[in-house]
Amino acid sequence: MDTRTSETRLRIERLRDALIASNVHAVLVPSSDPHLSEYLPERWQGRQWLSGFDGSAGSLVVTRDRAALFADSRYWAQAEAQLAGSGIDLEKTTSGASTQFIDWIARQLQPGEVLGVDGQVLGLSLAQQLRGALGRKGIKLNTDVDLLQPAWDDRPGLPLQPVYEHLPPQATVARADKLARVRVAMATAAATHHLVSTVDDVAWLLNLRGSDVECNPVFIAHLLLDTQGGRLFIGSGKVPADVAARLSADGIELAAYDQAAAALATLPADATLLIDPRRVTLGLREAVPAGVKVVEQINPSTLLKSRKTPNEAHFIREAMAEDGAAMCEFYAEFEAALARGERWSELDVDTRLSAQRSKRKGFVGLSFSTIAGWMANGALPHYRATAESFAQIEGDGLLLIDSGGQYLGGTTDITRVWPIGTVSAQQKRDYTLVLKGTMALSRTRFPRGTLSPMLDAIARAPLWEHGLDYGHGTGHGVGYFMNVHEGPQSISKAIPEPAMAMEPGMITSIEPGLYRPGLWGVRIENLVMNVAVETPEKNAFGEMLAFETLTLCPIATSCIDKSLLRADEIAWLNDYHATVRERLQPLVSGPALAWLLERTEPLTA
């Protein structure tokens, strides 16, 4: 394959032309936008446009004679397939947070040569790491260039969809109250101003939602607060007049999206600006005048929105029940179709499951693209069937379905694996070991303030006992009608930080897995919420937390190797299924009810 037949190679060559014209020797294209979002509007999907790799994480580096994509184990098989023939090397990283590409750049470039990266999408903390590592090698960093612009002729513009308000009763805390709580945190930090750039923080703080990013109800904007009011930097025409009037009543005025940097540049000399170095770009940080004092700490809104209130928890439980009912309707339909001899594909699973969700009360949209992986495709943690590449569900094996919905009262994320036909002893063993990990962590009690990464090993222990493991994290935070991935907590192998402390009201996934490349994959995921619990010692050793399992959907028991389960594990599973039956039975009828009752029958030892 050469540049006459490979669109990817042509695009890389166009980028190299821009690189040479700008006297730059290499360019870093991160998966990032001016808000450091995980999921990006089309305008900033440059890494995907250049490489053809459409995974949700990864960094691309292009030099004058080499190109490399850096991705973690969740994406290796996908990246190898999508990069084939492109001339781009896959560099396998240890985790999604890895910065191995920095060392690679340092090896490729010579002292005096220049790395270019758009400072408007470069995180401040990453910029500091780049400057330190490259500076020691005598390599220069140019952050004033956007080399995508000259290379990408038909680059999409800014998204134009209007925003809308998240209203009561599901919006249980008024905008004015949220702003007041953030200003308390500003006062504690002695800050007169606070810049919020992360789109989920802006949306949560202002009780607004949008559709600028697929599956995430957020919109592109920056927010600059002072002690009395604030300015929302957003595209023209995106805020309806009535919404703008209510924002103004709460002290928030509208300004042009591209004026955020200029507003920072005009801060008074006696101002103190609070920013989160992990949630603001270098370009915005450099707009702040040298005389302005800057306080760097986590956004107060990031901490506040992670701790769901009791009223929010009420609506979350309702959303979980609606989502569980949709799952029952889908699985009853699916299994009946298979019994009639119908052939379904992975695409059919996506379409039919989404259709069932769309019928439920409060449903707004999917919370991420459905992962329906039959057998070998289930071994790809971030697999997605497409019209060009999908599998038929036929024969014997395991079907993994990871899906979720956005509801006015919450965000769902659930993974189930279902045996189709006859499954092997090894498949049952893999399934049961993963289930043991899910149950082990779900049953754990821990002191309030425990750093979330410290819990990761509990879910892995049943697998480690057999010499097995998985390459992704065990759990991510989940928003409230917001992003399906939300910090600051992360149950993973991440290095613990103080902001990751587990607090009441936090919602996190528990999703251990086991993947046999080319064969099958297993992942069993529930969402859980931190709740305070009494102990026999009356909490004499400090407040203890436990997990309330929020997700309501049967777990396939026909795939379990019961010889691997203890009596207390069987009891937990039976108790869970009793709860699922009780909560979902009033919401379904007919075949879905029959399916629910059958799938929640107690498991005997």
Give pLDDT, residue 323. Answer: 98
d(CA 32, CA 39): 8
Nearest to 92 by CA among 84, 82, 100: 100
DSSP bridge pairs for 256: 234
Confidence of residue 5 (pLDDT cuts 50, 70, 90): low
Q: Would you say residue 2 has pLDDT above 50?
A: no
Nearest to 44 by CA among 220, 234, 261, 224: 220
| Sequence-separated (6 or more) residues with CB below 8 Å from residue 470 | 460, 463, 512, 513, 514, 515
Q: How would you class 252 by CB atoms within 10 Å of its CB: exposed for 0-12, middle for 13-18, buried for 19 or more?
A: buried
Reduced to 3 states (helix: H, G, I; strand: E, B; else coil), residue 487 is: strand
In this prediction, residue 564 carries a pLDDT of 98
The mean per-residue pLDDT over the stretch 349-370 comes to: 97
With beta carbons less than 8 A apart as the criterion, state whether 130 and 157 touch. no
| CA 224/CA 233 separation, integer angstroms | 8
d(CA 393, CA 373): 9
DSSP assignment string, 165-227: E--TTT--S-HHHHHHHHHHHHHHTT-SEEEE--HHHHHHHHTEE--SBTTB----EEEEEES
Tokens of 416: 């189930």
CA atoms of 463 and 440, how far apart (whole Å)? 11
Q: Which residue has the tokens 């992975």?
A: 346
Q: Which tens digits make up the pLDDT trace of 382-417?
A: 888 888 889 999 999 999 999 999 999 999 999 999
Handedness of CA 389, 393, 398, 404 (dihedral sign): positive
pTM: 0.92
- Give the residue-averaged pLDDT of 302-318: 98
**488 preceded by cis ω (within 30°)?**
yes
Give the pLDDT mean for 438-463: 98
The answer to whether 462 touches 437, Cβ cutoff 8 Å, is: yes
Contact 186, 300 (CB under 8 A): yes
Q: Where in the chain do CATH 3.40.350.10 domains reside?
A: 7-151, 164-304
For residue 97, the model assigns a pLDDT of 67
* Local confidence band at 537 (pLDDT 50, 70, 90 cut-offs): confident
In the chain, where does the domain assigned CATH 3.90.230.10 lie? Answer: 307-599
Given a cut of 70, whether residue 3 has pLDDT beyond it is no
SS3 235: coil
Beta bridge partners of 27: 62, 116
429/431 Cα distance (integer angstroms): 5
Q: Please write the tens of the pLDDT for every residue from 374-384.
A: 999 999 988 88
Q: What pLDDT, on a 0 to 100 scale, did the predictor assign at position 542?
A: 86
β strands within 64-108, DSSP E: 67-71, 89-92
How confident is the model at residue 115, as a pLDDT? 95
Please give the distance of CA 34 from its chain centroid, rounded to a whole number: 17
Domain 7-151: homologous superfamily in CATH = Creatinase/prolidase N-terminal domain (3.40.350.10)
Give percent of the chain with pLDDT exceeding 90: 87
Res 254: pLDDT: 98
Per CATH, the number for 164-304 is 3.40.350.10
Arithmetic mean of pLDDT, 208-232: 96
Name the CATH architecture for the domain at 307-599.
Alpha-Beta Complex (3.90)
Minimum mean pLDDT among 11-20, 259-268, 571-580, 593-602: which range? 11-20
Rounded to an integer, what distance in angstroms lies between the CA atom of residue 278 and that of residue 406? Answer: 26
Distance CA 261, CA 287 (A): 6
Report how far residue 502's alpha carbon sits from residue 451's, in angstroms, rounded to the nearest whole number: 6
Q: Kindly list the distances between the CA atom of residue 365 and the CA atoms of 52, 407, 410, in Å, as whole numbers in the listed order.
A: 26, 7, 11
Spell out the SS3 assignment of 446-475: EECCCEHHHHHHHHHHHHHCCCCCCCCCCE
Q: Does residue 350 carry a pLDDT above 50?
A: yes
